[in-house]
A and B are shown apart, each in its own frame.
Chain A
């Protein structure tokens, strides 16, 4: 009798996810029975499904915001909600709404006709939402696999293109390798401690005096797997190839959305061993410095836009890892401030990139940096938006990127990592070069031989572009909202 009441709140806690998943199933049935039926003459459903999914995501955001339970765990401690999961889930949902808005017209222009595309994207969003809430190694592993499988399929979605299938295969092989490392670490942890629950593990490790060799080995394997997923520097090799090979519409989804939830998961794992971190800090510091070096220096040689953005994301992950390795409240909140501002900026950049679709060209086409010379002539306003976004990525003052970088460096200096902070500041000067080179090729180079016309900007792109562009300015002059959100996330992450 008591047991039947114990699980009463389980379903209340995950009601947004239940809603999201059941609507995904309904959309799958819709696609199966309407899209593949001879009676309706095989209609193309992608536009409809993407619009319905935007509505579904808005509803699930409303459900997340109105959830009566703010803190608590359910399903035998497998799922745990707190302020961190609340805000990160909301940011995932809103950024994916923006991605849907941006990618709406691409499917029409480039004829991606399989109705599964947006259903798979929604499944990935469902997986990311669950990953944010999971406080158990087993649940989080399964959910991480769910979102990775969705992204493997998305990378290989353009079946006729050899680049896309190559990218999908590469992503699948390397991603499954990293998952193997992760699950091996989890088995070691389970074998030693006898539990996979985060809070129980934290209690056990807190009681012990020091970690032994096998405990450290297990956590190292887990962290390596997570660094693989984050594309941090010694494990970043897959990311530029996958970004370059996969179709742009898939690239935007794994460039913008999954980083924040994997970062939150890494923080959760790190907070298990939060009082015995001396050994693990060095791993994250080495990875952070490597990421910043690779992200700054290798990017200088890139000629393709997507590869450049991939390497610059490696660079940004370096700053985030600095925030992880310090692990004070200040550094965690600055890391989340950084990634939220990075998401906003990259949404703006991708919306500009999607608006540059040349009119009525239906073949696969990569973006070269030289092509940006034509923006200034065709659309001055968009060119200036693009350059200001790049300035924000580089961290130039009156924009939100500056404040994000400043808070990371400030927390590093306050924690005593002065030498590393100085080094990373110097490398960030190098990384400013390639952002400014893009602006130079957009504004000051007239080397274009062949002119081509960009289609006029779509209203949905304009909405995303203008909102994110406004946020870039507003959050510099009034960063308190973002600061409060990231501070609350940080408070709930420290045990």
Chain B
């Protein structure tokens, strides 16, 4: 086998394993659970409004705000993870830059908190 693909073998195995595991879990949930469907359960899940309705109505943006904030902190996790892996290779400059990034993220967090972005 090509040594290039050899490196990706564990990832492939993990991919297969996760696929199989999710299949098993979904299958058991079909066979073992009590099924009692009604209209609310079967309808499409949407953030606080009816998806098959007039598009020009006003709707609540609370869910979207939460989703946007989630994206920011998700990205933060991505940055921090790669920073933590490469920490032995960066000098003190690279070490403190992440603290700067964290601080600026904290500023945004405090701003959102004070202006009421988290108020439900």
> B111 touching A32 by the CB < 8 A rule?
yes
- In the complex, A25 Cα to B106 Cα: how many Å? 11
The answer to whether B114 and A7 have CB atoms under 8 Å apart is no
Q: A29 near B91 (CB under 8 angstroms)?
A: no
Chain A positions 1-36 with a Cβ under 8 Å from a chain B Cβ? 3-4, 7, 10, 25, 28-29, 32-33, 36
Contact, CB under 8 Å: B107 / A28: yes
Contact A32 B93 (CB under 8 A): no
**B93 and A29 form a contact (CB under 8 A):** no
Question: How far in angstroms is the closest Cβ of chain B from A118?
Answer: 15
Establish whether residues B111 and A4, one from each chain, have CB atoms under 8 Å apart when the complex forms.
no
CB distance from A17 to the nearest CB of B (A): 13
Whether A7 contacts B107 in the complex (CB less than 8 A), given A32-B115, A36-B115, comes out as: no
Map CB proximity to A onto B81-120 as digits: 1 under 8 Å, 0 otherwise: 0000000000111000000000010010011001100000
Which residue of the partner chain, among B91, B92, B104, B114, contacts A32 with CB atoms under 8 Å? B114
**Residues of chain B within 8 A of A25, CB atoms compared:** 104, 107
B111 partner residues in chain A, CB cutoff 8 A? 28, 32
- Which residues does chain B contribute within 8 Å of A10, judged by CB atoms? 93
B contact residues around A32 at 8 Å (CB):
110-111, 114-115
CB distance from A32 to the nearest CB of B (A): 4
Given A32-B115, A36-B115, are A4 and B110 also a contact pair (CB < 8 Å)? no
Chain A minimum-CB-distance residue to B112: A32
Q: Are A4 and B92 in contact (CB under 8 A)?
A: yes
A28-B107, A29-B107 known; A3+B91 contact, CB < 8 A: yes
A31 to chain B, nearest CB (A): 8
Chain B's nearest CB lies how many Å from the CB of A110? 22
Chain B 46-72 interface mask (CB, 8 Å, partner A; 1/0): 000000000000000000000000000
Closest to A3 in B: B91
Question: Whole-angstrom distance from the CB of B80 to the nearest CB of chain A?
Answer: 18
Q: How far is the CA of A33 from the CA of B91 in the complex (A)?
A: 36
Known interface pairs A32-B115, A36-B115. Does A7 touch B110 (Cβ–Cβ under 8 Å)? Answer: no
Q: Which residues on the B side are within 8 Å of A36 (C-beta)? A: 114-115
How big is chain B's contact interface, by range?
under 10
What residue in chain A is nearest B97 (Cβ atoms)? A75
**Separation of A32 and B93 alpha carbons in the complex (Å):** 31
Minimum distance in angstroms from A37 CB to a CB of chain B? 9
Chain B's closest residue to A25 (CB) is B107
Among A4, A7, A32, A36: residue with most chain B CB under 10 A? A32
Closest to B94 in A: A7
Shortest distance from the beta carbon of B16 to any chain A beta carbon, whole Å: 31
When distances are taken between beta carbons in the complex, the residues of chain B under 8 Å from A33 are 114
Q: Note all chain B residues with C-beta closer than 8 A to A7.
A: 91, 93
Say how far B79's CB is from chain A's closest CB, in angstroms: 13
Residue of B91, B110, B111 ringed by the most chain A CB atoms within 10 A: B111
Chain A: which residue is nearest B107 at the CB level? A25
In-complex Cβ contact of A29 among B92, B104, B110, B115 (8 A)? B110
Query: In the bound complex, what is the Cα–Cα distance between A7 and B90 (angstroms)?
Result: 12
Nearest chain B CB to A38's CB is how many angstroms away? 12
Taking CB as reference atom, which chain A residue is nearest B104?
A25
Kindly report which residue of chain B lies nearest to residue A32, judged by CB atoms: B114
Instruction: Name the distance in Å between A181's Cβ and chain B's nearest Cβ.
Output: 23
Complexed CA–CA distance, A3 and B95 (Å): 13
Given A32-B115, A33-B114, A36-B114: A4 in contact with B107 (beta carbons within 8 A): no
Nearest-Cβ distance from residue A170 to partner chain B, whole angstroms: 19
| Cβ of A237 to closest chain B Cβ, rounded Å | 26
Question: Nearest chain A CB to B92's CB is how many angstroms away?
Answer: 6
Tell me the complex Cα distance, A388–B62, Å.
52
Which chain A residues lie closer than 8 Å to B114 at the CB level? 32-33, 36
Name the contact of A4 in the complex, choosing from B91, B104, B115 (C-beta under 8 A).
B91
Neighbouring B residues of A3 by C-beta, 8 Å: 91
Q: Tell me the minimal C-beta distance from B90 to chain A in angstroms.
A: 10
Q: Which residue of B lies closest to A33 (CB)?
A: B114
- With the chains together, A235 CA to B86 CA distance in Å? 42
Bound-state Cα–Cα, A33 to B107, Å: 12
For the complex, give the distance between the alpha carbons of A28 and B104 in Å: 11
Q: Which residues of the partner chain A approach B107 to less than 8 Å between Cβ atoms? A: 25, 28-29
B110 contacts across to A, CB distance below 8 A: 29, 32
Nearest-CB distance from B22 to chain A (Å)? 33
Q: Which chain B residue lies CB-closest to A11? A: B93
Distance between B39 CB and nearest chain A CB, rounded to angstroms: 35
Known: A29-B110, A32-B114. 13 other contacts (CB 8 A): A3-B91, A4-B91, A7-B91, A7-B93, A10-B93, A28-B107, A28-B111, A29-B107, A32-B110, A32-B111, A32-B115, A36-B114, A36-B115
A–B complex contacts, Cβ < 8 Å, 19 sampled: A3-B91, A4-B91, A4-B92, A7-B91, A7-B93, A10-B93, A25-B104, A25-B107, A28-B107, A28-B111, A29-B107, A29-B110, A32-B110, A32-B111, A32-B114, A32-B115, A33-B114, A36-B114, A36-B115
Complex A-B, nearest 4 residue pairs according to Cβ-Cβ distance, in ascending order: A32-B114, A7-B93, A3-B91, A25-B107
